[in-house]
Amino acid sequence: GENVEQHPSTLSVQEGDSAVIKCTYSDSASNYFPWYKQELGKGPQLIIDIRSNVGEKKDQRIAVTLNKTAKHFSLHITETQPEDSAVYFCANAGGYQKVTFGTGTKLQVIP
Amino acid sequence: NAGVTQTPKFQVLKTGQSMTLQCAQDMNHNSMYWYRQDPGMGLRLIYYSASEGTTDKGEVPNGYNVSRLNKREFSLRLESAAPSQTSVYFCASTLNGAANYGYTFGSGTRLTVV
């Protein structure tokens, strides 16, 4: 919970390039770090998550890395495609119901 | 599998009117949530229900009430709508709390208060 800073707020990449979004957090009790993708007019959708006992997790073209010492975690999308264009939110959770969301990154993949 | 279903999708209210936003999930989840999403403010928690029979305030509860009708349904009520409540409202659910489980969100209700 508590503060989560997300950068950048907007990101444009050429199709096929990689995209990286970074979040930093302040609550050292955080132990769960999900990422959500929100397409226009839809609700956010969970795309990948990582827990504090793991440093990296990969699912096809997306991966998340976590550095608990530095208190930051990042989303990596490789071989971007136009359908990856959306707003991405990071979040972190500490206590039972304490979830804090980042302010979002609007990703545009240019064909 | 429908997931989380919200109704209505769009609504326009006059200041002072009341309305109830409906939410239902078919995933046998224990915990349910109401968020609002505003430009530049991100997602903010209004109320949540950790399990059937319990409800608790979130970050921005003023002007809202909730009812956990049963395990499946969690409604949000605006008793006297104000222009500041113009927003997109999302219902979400998790298996058990939010510390270790990601949310499943509904598709949202876009509310305008004039």
Mean per-residue pLDDT for A5-24? 97
Instruction: Report the share of chain A in percent with pLDDT over 90.
Output: 81
A47-68 pLDDT tens trace: 999 998 889 999 999 999 999 9
CB within 8 Å: B100 and A93: yes
CB within 8 Å: B102 and A34: yes
Residues of B (23-42) whose Cβ lies below 8 Å from A = 31, 40, 42
Residues 6+ apart with CB under 8 A from A40: A86
Q: Is the pLDDT of residue A82 over 90?
A: yes
Task: Tell me what pLDDT residue B113 has.
Answer: 97
Residues 6+ apart with CB under 8 A from A60: none
Counting Cα atoms < 13 Å in the Cβ hemisphere of B67 gives 9
Task: Tell me what pLDDT residue A94 has.
Answer: 77
> What's the CA gap between A36 and A46, in Å, rounded?
4
Q: Taking the CA atoms of A79, A80, A83 and A87 in sequence, report the sign of the dihedral they define.
A: positive
Contact (CB, 8 A) for B21 and B89: yes
Contacts of B105 in chain A (CB under 8 A): 36, 43-45
Angle at A86 between CA A105 and CA B107, to 5 degrees: 110
Task: Tell me what pLDDT residue B107 has.
Answer: 96
Give me the residues of chain B with pLDDT under 70, please: 1
pLDDT band with cut points at 50, 70 and 90 for residue A3: confident
Task: Tell me what pLDDT residue B37 has.
Answer: 96
CB within 8 Å: A101 and B108: no
Distance from CA of A71 to the nearest CA of B (A): 17
Task: Tell me what pLDDT residue A53 has.
Answer: 83
Task: Tell me what pLDDT residue A23 has.
Answer: 97
> What's the CA gap between A95 and A24, in Å, rounded?
18
